[in-house]
Structure 1
Amino acid sequence: MPKPFRRRPLALMAIAVLIACSASVGSAADPGKVDPRGLIILMRHAEAPGVGDPPNFQLRDCATQRNLDANGREQARRVGDRLRSLAAGEARVYSSQWCRCLETARLLDVGAVQELPVLNSFFERREEQDAQMASLRRFLAGLPADGAPVVLVTHQVVVTALTGVFPASGESVLLRANGTDKPAIEERIKTDGSR
């Protein structure tokens, strides 16, 4: 069960996610250079070895899915540890309904996690991609340009379809809400700390 929502400084929290998603903590963006208003942190779930899901995959049965390994859990906790080392603030956290995404989002421990089906994987259901991406774009268009940061934990196929970026596990793409269905792509934070 997720822990109660905690308040944290918005600017520091957004930077903390970037820092924690990087293997080299000291190489993240300068906190003074990121405006937290309207920031969207689009994150691929943490390390979950393998590709796709087993043939007997069931959405509500984690035993049938590809899940985080110990490295993935530690990767997600490092993000959360970094966030909790900072003072108070606020972010909305949304996740795919897949277990590896929900576990990543919960291990961040930065707020109540809400399931958002438009973040689900369509890796083995490519015929659903266009409709799903249209729904995700409508969701993004509704995010206010001056709103609190939003963390979206999802899958490689969703990140790639939305941004053209092929992210590694735990990698993030920073977007900026702008009142349209095409939020501006600000930068890519790779797992090795480079941009």
Structure 2
Amino acid sequence: MVHSYTRRMGVAGFLMLACSSSASAQEELIERMQHGETVVFLRHAETDYSQTDTGRLNDRAGQRNLSAAGRVQAQELGKAFSSLGIEFARILVSPVYRARDTAELAFGHGSLEVTMDLVADDYAGGALQETIAATGSLLATEPPEGTNLLLVGHRTPLEMVTGLDFPDTVLPEGALAIFDPIDEGTNLLGTVSADALIAAAGSQ
């Protein structure tokens, strides 16, 4: 299925969005989210790299958690989505604390669905391939008209699903990868940094 918005922008416009991180490209992606019908993959907010992951899901002390700056970043992201009128029909979240905390700080506890479908690769155990397949299915899920689907998760599984590289220069912590769900799979439109989204909200 090709959305009407996709047809209006044309192939060249979408190639520009997918390949460029310029300010104008990020502005167009923000407008695309405001229009809706995208899948937004939010990499968890900034973390404390002095902490080490153990692979134990329910052990907060044994995970790399959000830094103080990351907690503020998550709150600011939530305010930015609201200010910009970007609506999410569903918010699905990895159970790893840095992702779960990002979503809870941004959107509150009641609006989230915690799922192993988005768990970090080093927490998936023997179910990694099932997790990757589930993430791929979510990236191809079309949300209701005028809304988006938000997935809050981790970079490495996203790379495994898409076959694309997302270095920190492209998808730093707190950044968004925007997808257009289509019948054949997923179409990456581009990425938006946390700073760009927050700045766009501040200019409203």
**Same fold (TM > 0.5):** yes
Correspondence for 2:186 among 158, 183, 188? 183
Match of 1:174 in 2: 178
Matched to 1:80, the amino acid is G
Q: Percent identity of the aligned residues?
A: 24
* Equivalent in the alignment of 1:9: none
Output the amino acid matched with 1:136. T
CA 1:26–1:144 in structure 2 vs 1: closer, same or farther (change >3 Å)?
closer
Aligned residue number for residue 12 of structure 1:
none
Given that 2:39 and 2:142 are in contact with CA atoms closer than 8 Å, whether structure 1 keeps it comes out as: no
TM-score (normalizing by structure 2): 0.68
Higher share of residues assigned helix? 2
The one-letter code of the counterpart of 1:165 is: D
Q: Report the alpha carbon displacement of residue 185 of structure 1 after superposing the two structures with TM.
A: 0.6
Structure 1 residue 79, shift from structure 2 partner: 0.5
Q: Confirm or deny: 8 A CA contact 1:54 1:65 kept in the other structure.
A: yes
Q: Give runs of aligned pairs for residues 40-119 of structure 1, distance below 5 A.
A: 40-50=39-49, 53-55=52-54, 57-86=55-84, 89-109=87-107, 112-119=111-118
CA distance in 1 between counterparts of 2:36 and 2:87 reads: 12
Instruction: Specify every segment of 5 or more residues in structure 1 that has no aligned partner in the other structure, as ranges.
Output: 1-24
Deviation at 1:29, TM superposition (A): 0.9
The offset of 1:127, in angstroms, is: 6.1
1:109 shift after superposition: 1.4
TM-score, with structure 1 as normaliser: 0.70
**Contact 2:47–2:67 (8 Å) recurs in 1:** yes
Which residue matches 1:165?
165
Distance 1:47 1:88 in 2: 22
Give the aligned CA root-mean-square deviation in angstroms.
3.2
Kindly indicate whether the alpha-carbon contact (under 8 Å) linking 2:132 and 2:161 is maintained by their aligned counterparts in 1: yes
Q: Number of aligned pairs?
A: 168
CA displacement at 1:171 relative to structure 2: 1.4
Cα displacement (A) at 1:38: 2.1
When residues 103 and 39 of structure 1 are mapped into structure 2, their CA distance, relative to the original with a 3 A threshold, is: same
Q: Contact between 2:39 and 2:143, CA under 8 Å: does it hold in 1? A: no
When residues 52 and 86 of structure 1 are mapped into structure 2, their CA distance, relative to the original with a 3 A threshold, is: same
What is the CA–CA distance in structure 2 between the aligned matches of 1:138 and 1:172, rounded to whole Å?
18
For 1:85-132, what per-residue CA distance to the aligned partner results, in whole angstroms no more than 9, with x for missing partners? 356944311100101100001111177010121100113668644332
- Corresponding letter in the other structure for 1:173: A
